[in-house]
Chain A
Amino acid sequence: MTLFPRAFFSSVQDPCISRLRRNRPRIPFARPHFRTVHLAMASLAVLVLLVVVGCTGRSLITWGESGGDGWTVTAVDDSRLYVVSRQGKVFALEGVSRDAIPRILWTHELARYHGAFGTPAVGREHIYIGDKGDLEGQNGQLLALLKDREQPSGTTEGPGLLQDGEWSHAIEGGIVGAPVLAEDESLVLVASDNGDVYAFNTTGGSRDRQAWKFSAGGQVWSTPAVSDGIVYVGSLDQYLYAISLDRELAAGDTRLIWKYKTDGAVMGSPLVLDGPSGRMVVAGSVDRKVYALGATDGELMWSFTGDDWIWADPVADDDHIYVASMSGTVYALDRAGNRVWETKLEDGSPVVSRPVVQEEDVVVATDEGKLFRLDTGNGQRVGGFHDLDGRVKASPSILGGNVFVGVEDNSVRGIDLEDWREAWNFSTKDR
């Protein structure tokens, strides 16, 4: 069986025929069969082109447009800034005050294509990093690095080695939310992308590392919140879970205290605070609502409906609860769930990162990379906005009068809260 028309190939290969063709008077579409061959070939070429474009598109979407490497996340302690870059490198920095020159204390490489989405938890001696794993969400790990570790000498390929006193624990499915310390730092809690919530002992050997595990019904991207011996965590299965922190739970006893079904996935971390009728848990959902539930019984106290998905973690000060939507609207609610004010940010871009409250201001970073400062009293914008030239999804950190924002252009910007100017910049690229 001949699949290819011999005539076509021989005409291409034979220079004499080609020359004859050139000398022949050109009559468009003179030979219908050639036109058909050309059309067939053109169709094939278009198909191949589309496939190539499709392939490239996938690659770009996965690694370029959407990141895929994690976010540029920041955490602070008294004087240091810790950064996990999109390329999976951990930096400990000093010199993070206004107009200071940042100095790298140490660095640590995660594995290739690894990174973090959640803010590291900073303890007294260790910093805990939730590694998201590789592209398929495999081989994630919880990493405990010493805050005062030695900078490894020389350059090595691949992941950095752990030093004495450091540990890691593999987490199947990888980690999206942030680790959280509990029980005077004796436990570190973390949730995995395949729906498990883990509690690990921060001390002891690797054999006794895992204190307990709880399986939610769906992926968990939320950072656990801990209060009065209860862990609150949201899941993409649309439930908000309250589970016991007790590490000595008797066999057969259920760890689940209550769960509440919303009408959408719960992405952000719950907020636990005192409400008008007792302790309450506040969480946003993709169903555009903010729910306030009784902390001990999970009874609905109130709900508030926003204009779009609520992804960013809610935050609170003494007066208000601040919630930002995926349409770029910021709401201030009182503790009874009544709207005090709402402000639509100019760029209308989604807000994924948790807002931060500093004295009289609430600072909100949008996905499009604009940083806004709003008056907590009336929601009016204070000063202009900062254009950070890159997407922002990770939550900002505040240290020494600066708000530090990890930007998707592989930089960390420090904005001075006093005069609202960019006073500090650190690039994680090529370091």
Chain B
Amino acid sequence: MDAIGFFFDNLLINPMLNIIVMLYSLLFSNFGLAIIVFTIIVRVVTLPLHVRQIKQMRAMSEMQPRMKQIQEIKDPGERTRAMQAMWREAGVNPLGCLGPLVIQMLVWVALFRVLIKSLGTNPDDLVGLAQRLYSWNPFSDVAIPLNPDFLWLDLAAPDPTNIVLPVLVGASTWLQQKMTMTPSADPRQAQTNKMMLWMMPIMLGFITLTFPSGLAVYWTVSNVAGVLIQYFITGDWGPLFAKDAPQAQPQPILKAASEEESEENESDGDGTGGPVRKNRRRSRRDGPERARRKPGRSRNRGPKPR
């Protein structure tokens, strides 16, 4: 834990704190502007990662038809090998998209600490701040104490309106995710994407209700910057305004799934409410997995007939 604390303090929080204090001094003693400019700097610094992420996303999109073919391979081992070979050939690492996310989260957590430590209102906080500011930082002396006011916000406290920033954070996160969403031919993958598309904005919106509004400013600006960067790199809005949405590819499958769902919800006529075609999804499975499944044990079955 000491190592984690050391890492956070010396490699993240303290440098970030000093940069923000410097920006604060340069930007008319406005902490909100300092956070906005800092966010843009972080986005610019992580631009190579972002570009790589976009390229990988594009490559993944292009691989969808081939991926669909691979998914039809019966042997799971062979399927995995084929999948890995395909990724290797295309130079795609499916985990690569996590890089920018992890960096963003680290910055977010560190910024949380920075806000708490720099915008504190009692002498203890200021003593702690003094120990974190580099003595050679020429801006530290004149900037203290830092003014936390920005627009209608106290950046060290949650948004007093309880609505504006949560909605901004939620909406901008949704936009950002929608633009970076990788289309998938796999219906489950598509479902997961769909879930994430809504879960993250809702969760972050709720978090914004209780966390310092400076974090919400960071998150919103970061998302908007992400969307704009992606637009300027790719030249289009991606899946955001696309007429043939990325879901277009897996649509038949999704449609089939929804049809199946509606069929499942229909009564089978015996009054039990059981599914009419309970093994329909299972029937798309092949190989040893199917062999081990017994009839009536499909994961997609409805209420068990008694």
Residue in contact with B292 in the complex, picked from A14, A23, A32, A137, CB distance below 8 Å: A23
Give the CA-CA distance A109 to B114 in the complex, in Å.
34
B183-208 at interface with A (beta carbon < 8 Å): 186, 188-189, 191-192, 194-196, 198-200, 203, 207
Q: Report the interface size for chain A: residues with CB under 8 A from the other chain.
A: 70
Total contacts A-B at CB 8 Å: 151
Is there an interface contact between B145 and A265, defined as CB atoms closer than 8 Å? Answer: yes
Inter-chain contacts of A249 with B (CB < 8 A) = none
Residue in contact with A3 in the complex, picked from B120, B122, B199, B261, CB distance below 8 Å: B199
Q: Contacts A50-B109, A308-B135 known; A3 to B125 CB distance under 8 Å?
A: no
Is there an interface contact between B288 and A219, defined as CB atoms closer than 8 Å? Answer: no
Q: Contacts A263-B142, A264-B141 known; A2 to B196 CB distance under 8 Å?
A: no
Nearest-neighbour CB distance to chain A for B31, whole angstroms, equals 15
Inter-chain contacts of A308 with B (CB < 8 A) = 130, 135
A382 at the interface (CB under 8 A from B): no
Of A37-45, A77-85, A155-163, A333-341, the one touching chain B: A37-45
Closest to A174 in B: B122
Inter-chain contacts of A2 with B (CB < 8 A) = 191, 194, 261
Is there an interface contact between A7 and B76, defined as CB atoms closer than 8 Å? Answer: no
Q: Contacts A24-B292, A66-B125 known; A53 to B109 CB distance under 8 Å?
A: yes
Give the CA-CA distance A24 to B287 in the complex, in Å.
12
Is there an interface contact between B123 and A27, defined as CB atoms closer than 8 Å? Answer: no
Q: Give A85-96 as 1s and 0s: 1 = Cβ < 8 Å from B's Cβ atoms.
A: 000000000000
Q: Contacts A32-B186, A264-B141, A309-B141 known; A50 to B199 CB distance under 8 Å?
A: no
14 contacts between A and B (CB under 8 A): A17-B297, A29-B80, A32-B189, A33-B189, A35-B94, A37-B192, A47-B105, A136-B121, A176-B122, A193-B121, A286-B141, A309-B130, A350-B130, A352-B123
Is there an interface contact between A40 and B192, defined as CB atoms closer than 8 Å? Answer: yes
Of B117, B196, B198, most buried by chain A (CB within 10 Å of CB) is B196
Give the CA-CA distance A62 to B127 in the complex, in Å.
13
Closest to A136 in B: B121
Give the CA-CA distance A326 to B194 in the complex, in Å.
53
Dominant secondary structure of chain B at its interface with chain A = helix
Give the CA-CA distance A264 to B108 in the complex, in Å.
30
Is there an interface contact between B122 and A68, defined as CB atoms closer than 8 Å? Answer: yes
Give the CA-CA distance A40 to B122 in the complex, in Å.
40
A413 at the interface (CB under 8 A from B): no
Closest to A309 in B: B130
Q: Contacts A17-B297, A263-B141 known; A30 to B189 CB distance under 8 Å?
A: no
B residues with CB within 8 A of A: 67, 71, 76-77, 79-80, 83, 94-95, 98, 101, 105, 108-109, 112-113, 116-117, 120-128, 130-131, 135, 141-142, 144-145, 186, 188-189, 191-192, 194-196, 198-200, 203, 207, 211, 261, 288-289, 292-293, 297, 299-300
A255 at the interface (CB under 8 A from B): no
A258-272 at interface with B (beta carbon < 8 Å): 263-265, 267
Is there an interface contact between B130 and A51, defined as CB atoms closer than 8 Å? Answer: no
Nearest-neighbour CB distance to chain A for B216, whole angstroms, equals 13
Nearest-neighbour CB distance to chain B for A190, whole angstroms, equals 16
Q: Contacts A53-B109, A65-B128, A287-B141 known; A221 to B188 CB distance under 8 Å?
A: no
Nearest-neighbour CB distance to chain A for B136, whole angstroms, equals 11
Of B76, B112, B130, most buried by chain A (CB within 10 Å of CB) is B130
Nearest-neighbour CB distance to chain B for A3, whole angstroms, equals 5
A132 at the interface (CB under 8 A from B): yes
Is there an interface contact between A327 and B135, defined as CB atoms closer than 8 Å? Answer: yes
Is there an interface contact between A236 and B297, defined as CB atoms closer than 8 Å? Answer: no
Is there an interface contact between A393 and B127, defined as CB atoms closer than 8 Å? Answer: yes
Closest to B131 in A: A350
A117 at the interface (CB under 8 A from B): yes
Q: Contacts A287-B141, A350-B130, A393-B123 known; A54 to B211 CB distance under 8 Å?
A: yes
Additional A-B contact list (17), CB under 8 Å, known A16-B297, A34-B188, A308-B130: A2-B261, A3-B198, A14-B297, A33-B188, A46-B105, A47-B203, A57-B113, A61-B113, A62-B116, A66-B120, A176-B122, A219-B145, A221-B123, A267-B126, A288-B141, A327-B135, A350-B131
Closest to B207 in A: A51
Inter-chain contacts of B130 with A (CB < 8 A) = 308-309, 311, 326, 350
A151 at the interface (CB under 8 A from B): no
Q: Contacts A32-B83, A47-B203 known; A27 to B77 CB distance under 8 Å?
A: yes
Give the CA-CA distance A123 to B130 in the complex, in Å.
35
A304-342 at interface with B (beta carbon < 8 Å): 307-309, 311, 326-327
Give the CA-CA distance A219 to B145 in the complex, in Å.
9
Is there an interface contact between A37 and B188, defined as CB atoms closer than 8 Å? Answer: yes
